[in-house]
Structure 1
Amino acid sequence: MNHTPRTRTVVSCILLVTALGAGATACGSDGNPLSARPYDAADEISFSGPTGAGEQADPDKPLEVAVKSGDGRITDVTAQDSTGRFVAGELAADGSRWHTTSPLAANAHYTVRVSTEDQDGAPGRRVLTFDTTRAKGKTRLNVTFGPDAGEYGVGQPIVAELDHEIKDKAQRAVVERGLRVDSSPAVQGSWYWVSDKELHYRPREYWPVHATVRAHSSLDGIKIGDHLWGSNARPLTITTGDKLVAVADAATHRMTVYRNDAQINQIPITTGKPGFATRNGVKVVLAKQYFVRMRSTTVGIAEGSSDSYDLPVFYATRVTWSGEYVHAAPWSVGSQGYANVSHGCTGMSTSNAKWFFDTVHEGDVVQVVNSQGAAMEPFGNGFGDWNVDWAKWRTGSALTDTGEDAPASQDAVRLRPTTV
């Protein structure tokens, strides 16, 4: 067979399609571009899904499209539901068959578009539509995104809380594929499985300033595992403000505050004394409380001992659930800038604490350096997510082939103890 003439014909077809528009096929075997039509692929392929009116597909079963004979091949297949979700699939190298590699959604309407070509290279198309059955008697996985909608600092992670444990890595991958976080400006980011029921999402670096971040789920109707299907989830949108980072140096007893990488203040401070040293590392502002009663008994210090305390504290900015704050400490002003005398908090004068309280917001970053304390926990005691380097963070994703099991989250302290 001489392939050269057919090659010239195909090239001229492409040119005529460009001229006539994508909806017209420009060439035929008779050489008249206006008389050409794609051949009907309906008799050339088989489809494993329902073909009769009123029939529905079982979402538990994969779909397959195959060529009935060896005279043609499949060139492309897309399967998409009415919400815009595509189903992943795999096409055989010889074009003989295509099958789904990700689950169908229950109670969904699908459109499958099949592109083929015959042995002479003539294109064919077939469009198939069908519905899937409801997931009756199945357990639904509910997802709740956090924090609440609003404006946050650039260190705020996105949290997804699940109401069922997901232990299996393949099931985790299904869940993770359905949990999307989009930002404008766009950044590189990833989920990390903190526990079987909690995921955190953060970018490689802090969020951009004045960004819009949207978390949403496409798991509704998607099979996750035996008897477990995804449910609808309320989307979340947050925005970020300026980049505000406060660096507390326990060695120099100074806190330097930066806005968008420019220094805006330096404050004399005191941090944790020996035996109560402040945690090193990056923390994220969790809350701001104008007044907190701080008692030593909440952190295991016996009442009446030399280290016991029961104090009214003002302008308290919380950075850990175990009770670490940046706050006003008028009783230690003489040591601020010179010595570490607190029980773990970062203390400063009342006027400086008010300035700090008024300046920072939830999601802003407080970093402690040069302390003799332990490292900030990555999870469970606030947001220590930024203390995990990016390479390690990526291993916490179920979609990373070389990943390892994520560490279990430590339980947040229920009684919210406080230190000074």
Structure 2
Amino acid sequence: MRRKIHRAPMAVASALLLGVFATSCSTEDPTDSTSGTDESSETSESPDASEESPADEQEWFDQAVYDEQYEQRSATFEGDSATPWLQYIDGEMTDTAEYKSNKAGKACFANASISNPWRQTGWITMNQQLEALQEKGVISEMETRDAGDDDNTQIADIDYFISEGNCDAFIISPNSTAAMTDAVERACETGKPVVVFDRGVETDCATTFIHPIGGFAWGIDTAEFLIDNLEEGDKVVALRILPGVDVLEQRWAAAEKLFEENGIEAVDFFTGADPTEIKTFITDELNKGEVQGVWMDAGDGAVAAIEAFEDFGADLPVMTGEDEMSFLRKWEETGLTGLAPVYSNFQWRTPLLALEKIWAGEEVPKEWVLPQVPITEDERGDYLEANDGMPDGHYAKFGGEDLPGYPEVWQERQIP
């Protein structure tokens, strides 16, 4: 099968100019906040995928990691399943005795962004977890700097925290994989605990790296679902949010492998999660012939994809979205054959809970692998009921039901 990569054509020039502008305007001391973000970060948008090089310029498929994540999908997790944000797969542990402290510590959080609904949901949950730990006297404050999806800004943010010199621990959610590696290593060199979560970097210096099973597991779950519900020779449109992020690239690398092995024709597009672009790409493919499936590496924009089929008058596809409420509701409304993979949003609680353990001198997993279980059609109704009243941009497996402010803070989308 020949691999096809397409991009949103109208955004190319503007995205390139934006990239130059963002780089030239990066400063060594960007605006900071305490337990929040600056105003510019709340209005920032993800950079259009077209400003990046094609994903095939870097080889993202790793057979060993693919095999590991394939097995981890059925692994036994340590801990209570009622608190999946604390569960982990048994493995190497980090001795944190040197960090034990009897006083509340200051956390410094370098965040990639809150520019999409998944990150916004997690950010709300993280702040409510922060409130709970402040009440317990574990954390004194969390100073947060939001990079607005820009590598240079996040590097400057991390270096600012280091030079500031009053962080008791660093939390880093990397904007991209390779670009953040040196900055993370500089944070490690301070001798303070470093917690990396969500996206990875190319160093293992962090005290703990927290993430759900991973991108390959997502790709395997979703591709196997489509393969099981399609016929050899059927066509799948793959909608990809942006290139260059390890977990996203691995999702597609796994899915592409399985599609090719099973005779599924797949054509992929970088959309930037733009609903207009999503509809355009799907409509263009429908004009060429039947499309039997839709695969997504992130669920933002899933409703637009379904609406493209409805507007065209075509049969609805077999589809994988995500556990965003808009997709779950549209899935139920239309009755299409679907699956909601997850990249467990509850992981946004875990970095702060990790600091609680670290400052208590307790061991933490060196690589803290969290459960990652898709929502099936049989489970969809339960998650819709449990999240009744939540906005469309909310994620069903957010895991904040026991935190202060539930459910109003999430229902009202109170983004700090």
Greater per-residue helix proportion: 2
Same-fold status (TM-score > 0.5) = no
TM value normalised by structure 2? 0.23
Q: Which protein has the larger Cα radius of gyration, Structure 1 or Structure 2?
A: 1
Greater per-residue strand proportion: 1
Q: Which has the higher contact order (CA 8 A, sep 6+)?
A: 2
TM value normalised by structure 1? 0.23
